[in-house]
A and B are shown apart, each in its own frame.
Chain A
Amino acid sequence: MSHQTPWSWKEMMAVFFARQIHDGDTLCSGAHTEISFCAAMLAQKSHAPNLRLQLGGTGYLCNLVGRPVSGGVPKTSVDYRIAQWAEGYFDHPETFLFYGPPGGGRRYYEDRDAFAGHNGYFFADHFFVGGLQVDYHGNVNLIGLGSNGGFTVRGPGSVGIGDVITVRNMFVFMTAHDRRRFVERVDYISTMGPSGWREKQFPGNGPQWIVSPLGVFDFTGEGMTARLRGLFPGHTEDEIAGATGFAVHRSELFDEIPPPTPAELALLRDEVDVTGVLAETGPQ
């Protein structure tokens, strides 16, 4: 099916993510993808100038307000281009020293307003994770496809997605939506879904969204299972149900996802994705 929109699916995803990021939040876009990098940069340049942003895996603390994106969007999480926006560095293992929530325990997550005036650098309001597979419970797999320690397809490895156990909101983003990737149960677990985080008493909330080129799931279903939260413009519930390996039901919060506004697209294209890496994929 062809959906002709004047923006690409990667641009739509970046705009959607940027809208979920609020001024004063903290965000780590660790392992690199062009979508999550652009989303964070777009948010900081548009409505979240106080976004405390760790861009890239090796601990660059970046602010892009008033700074150009010279030479295009970074290609890896240690791209030298990131350094031009950095205000601070730390060694990569120290990343994890920045993940203890203020107040300790669950307080930060349950009474976040109490911490609204903090300028501290707890870096885990938002975190992006990609996956080979994601399932109904929000478990994410970067290890591989297969069983019993064997692999028909070996994945890249779990990176740090199982380590950031204090994350308030994890975006699971999938760059394709089909029944091989959206499954009832993942083959291997790199990080658990939200019910697993609660069961294991992790401080953070873990995955709160699954975002694909077609639409968005939340975890408002029974036992924190996936529910369809919205469709990206040009896509239908039938299309998503056909491409998903678990039963698709609407979230009680199901709502229309507005298309990118002309202002969002202009800022994204003129000041963030200056070489058009998101645009070149075209619509899906």
Chain B
Amino acid sequence: MTADAAPGRKEVVSTAAEAAARVSDGMTIIIGGFVTANHPMPVVRELIKRGLGDLTVIGSATAGLEIDLLIGAGCVRKLIAPYVGAELYAPIGNCFRAAAERKEIEIWECSEYILYAGLQARAMGQEFMAWRGGVGTSIPELNRDLVVFDSPLGDGKEYLAVPAIGADWGFFHVGWADVYGNAQHVGARFGDRVLARAADRVAVCAERLVPNSYIRRNPVMTSIPYADLVIEAPFGSHPYAAHGFYAEDGEHIQAYVTASAGYRKGDRGAFRAYLDEWVTGPADHDVYLEQVGIRRLLQLEREYSAVSLGRHTPEGWPDGQL
């Protein structure tokens, strides 16, 4: 660069391994997405590969088995999430359940909006947010960080003071992003925007890396601006779905649920075998995808597009439109 050249914009393209290398033992991290969709799995796998421990992990309002995997792999000391499971695939995450029953993890007991209230307080730079949900439940008894107080308006109503919840890093999976860290979800955005605002630093995995001009075509879609790191990761949410791209891999999720079933009874062999095969084994995300196989990946794309484009209905939509 010559002395009089204007400085250029900083590009933030990175890799999952580099992103995970920014995390160290004892940190607090957020994992975005929702139940069976849009989890930044290349980063999750790299965190486990690095053998990180003592993490405080903040899951989404309906955290999925990506959190269960982190718990099973021994990365988590404290969990902040109002649910861990996969609904009809698994009502409760097996590793989460086992670790909770054996007191191997600390649980910051909450509900969806208690979680959001804490994140929002951090995002706004406040010490706490007031919220009425959870008053009268066991949640403030189980979570001593929550303080019940009487409304200052003098109407005799009780509120919870939810202290700010922040994180060192937030990890998300989006549809596309540019090299400057402008990220756009394609379809639902879950709770990702609030989760991202509560993190000091943010890394996004993106199905596609796109030109800045592509972002500018529809700036209203930019859901996470100024990410610190952007990781190109096609099929990066596998085995979970990425909205706008592919369906979740039900067979793989079922295989995970089966592999983790013995965890609660102390038989962790099948779970370790899963880790060896799918997490620590593959050298990187490309190798992981090779292992999943092109047929399976194409099938998940087709499954998604068949429904979203209406191909399942021979007559098409009743009004003749997609």
Alpha-carbon separation in the docked complex, A161 to B157 (Å): 19
Number of residues from A at the complex interface, CB < 8 A: 56
Which of A196-204, A209-217, A243-251, A254-262 is the contact stretch? Answer: A196-204
Chain A residue at smallest Cβ distance from B158: A200
Tell me whether A154 is interfacial, beta carbon within 8 Å: yes
What are the interface flags for B54-85 relative to A under an 8 Å C-beta threshold, 1 for contact and 0 otherwise?
A: 00000001100000000000000000011111
Whether A158 and B308, one on each chain, are in contact in the complex, defined by CB atoms closer than 8 angstroms, is no
Which of B104-112, B172-180, B226-234, B281-289 is the contact stretch? Answer: B104-112
Tell me whether B29 is interfacial, beta carbon within 8 Å: no
Q: What DSSP secondary structure best describes chain A's contact surface?
A: loop
Tell me whether B215 is interfacial, beta carbon within 8 Å: no
Which of B100-128 touch A at CB < 8 Å?
100-101, 103, 109-114, 116, 120
Whether A159 and B83, one on each chain, are in contact in the complex, defined by CB atoms closer than 8 angstroms, is yes
Query: In the complex, which residues of chain B have a beta carbon less than 8 angstroms from the beta carbon of A165?
Result: 132-133
Tell me whether A66 is interfacial, beta carbon within 8 Å: yes
Alpha-carbon separation in the docked complex, A165 to B131 (Å): 10
Alpha-carbon separation in the docked complex, A66 to B112 (Å): 33
Query: In the complex, which residues of chain A have a beta carbon less than 8 angstroms from the beta carbon of B190?
Result: 58, 78, 91-92
Which of A122-158 touch B at CB < 8 Å?
143-144, 149-158
Chain A residue at smallest Cβ distance from B119: A93
Whether B87 and A76, one on each chain, are in contact in the complex, defined by CB atoms closer than 8 angstroms, is yes
List 18 extra interface pairs beyond A78-B36, A154-B97, A156-B91, CB under 8 A.
Answer: A31-B62, A57-B62, A70-B307, A70-B310, A71-B307, A75-B88, A76-B88, A84-B307, A91-B194, A154-B92, A154-B101, A156-B93, A157-B83, A160-B133, A162-B134, A163-B112, A190-B137, A196-B136
Residues in A lying within 8 Å of B, measured CB to CB: 31-34, 57-60, 66-68, 70-71, 75-81, 83-84, 89, 91-93, 96, 143-144, 149-165, 188-192, 196, 199-202
Please name the 3 residue pairs, one residue from A and one from B, whose CB atoms are nearest each other, closest first: A163-B133, A160-B112, A154-B100
Can you list 11 A-B contacts with CB-CB less than 8 angstroms, sorted by A residue number?
A: A34-B88, A70-B312, A76-B88, A78-B241, A80-B307, A92-B191, A93-B193, A93-B194, A190-B139, A200-B136, A200-B157
